[in-house]
Amino acid sequence: MPVALLDLTGRDLGASVVASSDDSAGRHDALLRVRPPVATAPGTTPDAWRARRRTAPVGEWVIVRLGEPGVLRTVVLDTRHLHDDCPDSVTVQAHCWDGYPAAEQLTDPALPWTTLLRGVALRPDAENAFDVTDPHRYTHLRIIVQPDGALARLRAHGTVVPDTTLLRAAWIDLAAQENGAVVVDHCGEHPHAPAARLTVPGGPDGPGWVPPRRRDASHDWVHLRLAAEGTVRQVDIDTSFQGVDAPSRAALYGLNASDSGDDLPRWFELLPATPLLPDTRHRFLVPTPRPSSHVRLDLFPGGGASRLRLWGELAPAGRASLALGWLNTLPGQALTALLDRPGTRGTPGPEPGQVETFLADRPFTSLGQARAAAPAALLTHLREETHA
């Protein structure tokens, strides 16, 4: 199955600008605005983050908290409508700090940052895209422009790697982007109402996903990869703000990619075709729950939805998969901080060189292999916090 990338700097996902060296000439929160940048008249505030002019060689900086922790694949530094203000070069750094560190903590000069892109040149008035090869999971980005200048927008595309300590509840939303789910395919979307809005955090503030009107006899649909293999118990389909675009019926199908009985896994029914109302939050129990890794929502005769929530429990294989992804992408400094947490201090510390060997042996292909190499304190953390 294809894997789509999410914009981890999306405001819908909860990203935010934490701090900057200066934004007196252009607000730093412009970096995360959803709409494309627009041109502004000379002498007015630009639709961009712009620091005042300086000559210090260190450059100007801004720190962004990602909406969810993840592994980055592409960073886009947008300089559209910026000419004289375009920086000579930009450095992109990352740090992993789960929880809610304050700006004062993230700007501590002693805090280590990992460089993802070093001194890359930017083209003015362009969307500058750069591939990222670092395989680790991060929570924050620091962008340094040299010697100064402006950036209109920042986008960082990647895959969510959730903190497994937050997935201990009996039921979680298996379709939530914040837990690692992603839309992999759909029948169509409008630019202002993409399918990915179905699974963003929070309640709807607009129509969510609106597919184009169909001119044939088929129906609308969207295909999601769940956060991990799990059993969907309850389906929430929210048609708030959907008037004429609301479907009259919906059905949900599941697929388990780990099924080995067939050459190709087959779709099975989770929720039969069920009537829907416009502008309504619907809740349905799944009559016959089955473990699934993917789902397909069919909407009849067509139409969209504002939010989709799929409540259920992770399967043992799904929980192990999330724990393995977390272990394989944890940066070294984050692992060291984890071993110092109160919950693991009662466990004997790692032997000399054990942490370094553990990091060097990654990526592991199974949780059993990772457990065999993990320090005892980390094993305690896995058992107590993730039940993996």
Q: What is the pLDDT of residues 162-219, one digit of tens each?
A: 988 777 778 999 999 999 999 999 999 988 889 999 999 988 877 789 999 887 889 9
Residue 208: CB atoms within 10 Å: 25
Question: What average pLDDT does range 303-327 have in this prediction?
Answer: 93
Contact 324, 370 (CB under 8 A): yes
CA distance 5 to 129: 14
> If you compute the radius of gyration of the chain from its CA atoms, what whole number of angstroms results?
23
Give the fold, CATH level 3, of 6-160: Jelly Rolls (2.60.120)
Query: Helix, strand or coil for residue 272?
Result: strand
Q: What is the pLDDT of residues 348-377, one digit of tens each?
A: 666 777 788 888 899 999 988 888 888 776
CA distance 50 to 23: 6
Q: How long a stretch of residues is the chain?
A: 388
Least confident of 243-247, 269-273, 274-278, 353-357: 353-357
Question: What average pLDDT does range 97-120 have in this prediction?
Answer: 94
Residue 194: CB atoms within 10 Å: 16
CATH of 166-314, one of 3.90.1150.10, 3.40.50.300, 3.40.50.920, 2.60.120.260: 2.60.120.260
Q: What is the pLDDT of residues 2-35, one digit of tens each?
A: 457 899 999 888 899 999 998 888 899 999 998 9
- Residue 60 amino acid letter: E
Percent of the chain with pLDDT over 70: 91
- Residue 41 amino acid letter: A
> pLDDT at residue 343 above 60?
no
Check residue 348 and give its pLDDT: 63
Residue 366: CB atoms within 10 Å: 11
Question: What average pLDDT does range 264-292 have in this prediction?
Answer: 92
Check residue 383 and give its pLDDT: 60
Check residue 131 and give its pLDDT: 98
- Residue 166 amino acid letter: L
Percent of the chain with pLDDT over 90: 61
The residues, ordered by sequence, that sit 6+ positions from 271 with a Cβ below 8 Å of its Cβ are: 235, 250, 251, 252, 284, 286, 287
Note the pTM of the prediction, 2 decimals.
0.83
CA distance 53 to 147: 9
- The two tokens of residue 266 are 């087959």
Contact 110, 22 (CB under 8 A): no
Check residue 75 and give its pLDDT: 98
